Amino acid sequence: MTFVVTDACIRCKYADCVEVCPTGAFREGAAMLVIDPSDCIDCNLCLPECPADAILPDIEPESAQWIALNAKYAAEWPSITVKKDPPADADAFKGVEGKFDRHFTPEPGVGD
């Protein structure tokens, strides 16, 4: 089992999760974070840290559509291990439905 980041992260990118990850499994895209499944050790430390509730274990039915997305972009996006400030409008996007179709971009973030 690993954990995955869902569309709840899009336009929020709080990144509280990256500082507690002992393996540096998070990768940064322009609009969201993902977890590299080959680096995730299922420690569960990131799950309670996410203010947007955007992280799920991959055994949850809701995570199925995010498993491939996390694996794909984890191979393309840079590593992020240090918490950054979230976007200025992050709180306005917290809890918004349907963010993937409107706000996802495959562009990488800056990383560390």
Written as six digits, the tokens of 67 are 């498993």
Of the pLDDT bands very low, low, confident and very high (cuts 50, 70, 90), residue 112 is: confident
Amino acid 9: pLDDT: 97
Domains belonging to the chain, first-starting first, are 3-86 (3.30.70.20)
Written as six digits, the tokens of 80 are 């992020």
Amino acid 18: pLDDT: 96
pLDDT per position as a tens digit, 28-86 = 999 999 999 999 999 999 999 999 999 999 999 999 999 999 999 999 999 999 999 99
pTM of the full structure:
0.94
Interatomic CA distance for residues 3 and 63, integer angstroms: 9
Question: Of the candidates 20, 51, 25, which has an alpha carbon nearest to the alpha carbon of residue 36?
Answer: 25
